[in-house]
Amino acid sequence: MSDIVGKNLQRIETPIPGLVLLELPVRGDSRGWFKENWQREKMTALGLPDFGPVQNNISFNDATGTTRGIHAEPWDKWVSVATGRIFGAWVDLREGPTFGAVFTAEIDPSRAIFVPRGVGNSYQTLQPNTAYTYLVNDHWSPDVDYAFLNLADETAAIDWPIPLSDVEVSEKDRAHPRLADVTPIPPRRMLVTGADGQVGRALHALYGDAPHIEYVTRADLDITDPNLATARRWRDYGTIINGAAYTAVDAAETSEGRAAAWAVNATAPARLARIAAEHGITLVHISSDYVFDGASLQPYTETSPYSPLSVYGQTKAAGDLAAATAPRHYIVRTSWVIGDGKNFVRTMAALAERGINPNVVEDQIGRLTFADDLAAGIHHLLDTQAPHGIYNLTGSGPARTWVDIARDIYHRTGHDSARITPVSTDVYFASASGPIAPRPRNSLLDLARITEVGFAPRDPADALGDYLAKARAAP
């Protein structure tokens, strides 16, 4: 027993990304020993994922030399032994540059290893009466994709302590393919909702048509459906980017619009958050400057209290609070989004070309956010695994009014910016026939946190020319 007692809890890296070996403290005396095989608070403090196990399995092996594997399942495992000792071998069978990488180690009760989804797992017992134990974060199902590798694969070249010719191996394991014939396990799926919106289109342009990414509109997947939890095999998903929103700000002030706004902007994010929490999914939710009343004289930070003026703002604030219940969440708060679709920049450019001299609001300040920059910021948060939470993400640079932006557009398109007449918000909407939602007069968002994690938002003035050129070139 002396060889397993007295170790300190320690994390040991391996050549396979995400595969982490841990030394476990074991306490013993004349009666035997005790260990904490999985202790969530301590393990996650060492950087292990909070992988949410749902099942505990034990494989008891009578004889020395029993050999099992190599199996890669679409779930994570936490492997140790209760009695005995094994030689473990792990092979990366995931898509990517480390496909085929190998790591081996002996595991006794004082060691455990976290095996991420898609990494092939195998072992050979080194002592009789070995109890191999593992936690998994999904239930076995015949409807999911697995990958297998032959124990004797020449490329992996695992140096088994006991030759495979001398040990007990099942016929099924002997028949598994060589590495060259293995179909790599793809990444967990990514779902992008609101794929037909400005942000959704920008995300599609950035991420492309990789087979593991699913772009959906409401016609494909209604996130307001009460049965959303059963609409997909959610354990196969690693990320949901919720780009769907009800954005008809004035229509939300009507009876019908109010109900629709609450359904899409608040209830649906709550359902997505429950799904994300249950299945270990990272939820990215896009928020709005409308969650604030605009009365502040300073830019709003991520911790500024909610104070929405309108129904739209209230529903977006409720959606933020709901999304934050997902343990792995990014709430990306933005303003004045400009992308592929109907927006202020396109409208002003069209009015200039048609010879129209518009009235434009002069008493609201903020910054434009180009949708491709917003998509790039989301990609950065996910790719760098930035700390979860709320991030303000808009264009950078000085505050501008809608009049400033409109005049810039007229100037860049070769028109006289003096054709624009500045008016107050109240005057602009004075002749409106329907309900008008109150607008925040200050939409400036503080960008310190997003820059601290390594993303530098562009100054919209630098991007506006490129955007207008592309818009003119578009059919």
Residues marked as catalytic: 71, 134
Q: What are phi and psi of 391, to 5 degrees?
A: -135, 125
- CA–CA dist 403, 12 (Å, integer): 58
- CA–CA dist 327, 339 (Å, integer): 30
* Residues 6+ positions from 107 with CB-CB distance below 8 Å: 79, 80, 81, 85, 86, 88, 113, 123
> Are the C-beta atoms of 240 and 276 separated by less than 8 Å?
yes
Q: Which two tokens stand for residue 172?
A: 């099924």
- CA–CA dist 220, 158 (Å, integer): 46
Within 10 A of 168 (CB to CB), how many other CB atoms are there? 15
Q: CA gyration radius for the chain? A: 28
- CA–CA dist 389, 189 (Å, integer): 22
Q: Which long-range contacts (CB under 8 A, 24 or more apart) does 470-474 make?
A: 471/345, 471/346, 471/349, 472/349
- CA–CA dist 43, 9 (Å, integer): 9
CA 151 to chain centre: 34
> Are the C-beta atoms of 189 and 275 separated by less than 8 Å?
no
